[in-house]
Amino acid sequence: MGQGFGSFNDTPYHFEDFGFAVLNTSKIYINSDAHAHNSYLNILAETGLVGLFLVILFLVNLRRFIGVSGLPGGIELGLRIAFWVVIWSSFTEHRLTTPAQMLPFTILIGLTLSKFNVYQERTSIAHIKTGEVHTV
């Protein structure tokens, strides 16, 4: 199941068995650079296969959104490049949860998602007003 999100490098380890889970109950945490230098392995160690599957599912859906959102060419290309930089840099360093890399990317994705939702709302209101019916 994993050690729990954010606990992989919380040394020294003092595991206590609670029957349904084993937790690191150490009172003193030394957050060191002893993390997996791979985001996917670090997430696997912290959250187990279920957590890794959910992160990969999120990334797949994010990639799908970038590809089908109908953005202008330059914006879509920029988001695709930023997405692949995040994916590939996470193989060599723990970058998937690093604010220095992810904050600008998530701000751009948030703005894009907001624009996409406003566009979807406007087009659906326009179809209601004109009486057009479209099924997806």
State how far the Cα of 68 lies from the Cα of 48, in Å rounded to an integer: 31
Looking at the 3D structure of the chain, how many domains does it have? 1
| Residue 4, in any domain of the structure | no
pLDDT score of 54: 92
pLDDT score of 136: 46
Encode burial over 106-131: b for 16+ CB neighbours within 10 A, e otherwise: eeebeebeeeeeeeeeeeeeeeeeee
pLDDT, tens digit only, all 136 positions of the chain: 555 555 555 556 667 777 766 666 666 666 666 666 788 888 887 788 888 999 999 999 999 988 876 677 788 888 999 999 999 998 888 788 888 888 999 998 888 888 777 666 666 555 555 555 555 4
Domain that holds residue 33: 10-130
State how far the Cα of 24 lies from the Cα of 96, in Å rounded to an integer: 23
| Residue 79, in any domain of the structure | yes
| Residue 38, in any domain of the structure | yes
How much is the CA Rg of the chain, to the nearest whole Å?
A: 20
pLDDT score of 17: 72
Helix (H) / strand (E) element for 129: namely helix 99-130
Burial of 68 (0-12, 13-18, 19+ CB in 10 A): exposed
What's the pTM? 0.67
| Residue 5, in any domain of the structure | no
| Residue 1, in any domain of the structure | no
| Residue 93, in any domain of the structure | yes
| Residue 103, in any domain of the structure | yes
pLDDT score of 126: 52
| Residue 135, in any domain of the structure | no
